[in-house]
Amino acid sequence: MASEIILLIDVKKEEAGLIKGLISSFEIKVRSLEWERILECGDIFRDKPVCLVILQVDHSHGRQFRKLRWIRRHLLKPVPVLVMLPGEASMHTASYVKAGADDYCLLPLHQGRFAVRFLVLLECGQAMVHAAVPGHGDIDSGPPGDAEVWHRVVGFLREGLSFFTPGYQVSGKNTQPIFNRWERVENLGVGGDGVVWKVREIETGNVAVAKIPHNREMNISSLRAAAILKRLIHHPNVVHLIEVVKDEDRFVLIQEYVAGETLSHLLGAGVDALQKEDIFLQLLSVTAYAHHHSVMHRDIKPDNIIITPTGNLKLLDFGIAEDLVWQDGISTTEGTLDFMPPEQFAGKSSLATDVWALGIILYLLSVNRLPFCHDNRYFPMDISMEMNVTPPLDINPALSPDLNRIIMTCLEVSLEKRYASALALLEDLSRTFPRFGREGVFSE
């Protein structure tokens, strides 16, 4: 088969040079064309192994959306399309996505910020080129099946209540293989951003998990989550991303299936002190690693923590995680009520937001109860922001005063007084308890 092609349309020399540098070790060709030349060669995509299309637009000129629609109509496979926009067009990104872009980047490009997202799309596009893919018409065309309607209704409801922990599962009837490669085995649940399936690879029988967004408007979130998982791939406590595929116009994340029990279930069954410490050390390690790479999870909670039969921890669900390399501040209210600090309710998250959640879990491991129990009938804006915490030492006098201090520092409402990141928490915990995980700091 001929070498795969990345097609650059109206991409300036500087940006093209950066892209060529990123793929210099790959056997991939880059073809640069101006838009006028594209129109002259109407069959530009025919019999060509195009794996990624990158369009650079000048938002000050009209007809930019038409270019995307034209590309979508003429692509013979659901190849990823990335649009590069000038910074002043940032308010119009949703319109470009609606017109056909799968992802976008704002100019000027920065190699560190651009590379991972680019490589995720490229990998997906390569899979498209080498696979026999199903039809890729707009998923909104034609009447959806019962399961699809139900998933969208639930998704709509969950979109407004994304700060609640899902406590239900939806059984779907859709058994079509994903990307003609992954057959659905079991519906594991549904959330505001998509449906989660246990799947099996038809060719090998390997089991995995598929996270399917409800619609193509949620593709950006899927791609962001994939890029974050790629950045954290080398940590053993992060769920491995197997691949990203495009199915029915939606980017589906195929992740490793982790057999085990959630931390919630384990705590209900009973866990000894040393095992609690080992669990928290693993959780702190993966969170500190994420923070070192400027990634915040934003939804650390027992239901997102799996412990395997061998005792290994996996931190799940980076669906609302954010990479601060790409974004300076977060302005959305998402998370789980009992693990959210005041600033997260206000839509202002930072690395210290995860520290609060770690403090909640450390509190829970210490005294077997949560410091807060918010009533889920209320919305975040209706919940008191005072959040007065009863020190765990008051509940369990046998608790180490130093551990009490560390927990209360995690749960400081003031960001200036709270640990700035999991790295700072890890440093203090290691200095205070050098044998944490081996000497039984938690009382039985």
User: Mind telling me the catalytic residues?
Assistant: 299
- State how far the Cα of 373 lies from the Cα of 339, in Å rounded to an integer: 9
Other Cβ atoms within 10 Å of 146 Cβ, number? 10
Q: DSSP secondary-structure letter at 399? A: S
Query: Cβ neighbours of residue 194 under 8 Å, at least 6 residues apart?
Result: 155, 211, 212, 213, 214, 218, 222, 319
Q: What is the CA radius of gyration of the chain?
A: 23
Q: Which residue's structure tokens are 């692509």?
A: 75
- State how far the Cα of 17 lies from the Cα of 399, in Å rounded to an integer: 59
Cβ density class 62-75: b for 16+ within 10 Å, e for less? eebbebbebbbeeb
Q: Helices (DSSP H) in 346-435: which residue ranges?
A: 351-367, 392-395, 401-410, 422-432
Contact 30, 22 (CB under 8 A): no
- State how far the Cα of 92 lies from the Cα of 59, in Å rounded to an integer: 9
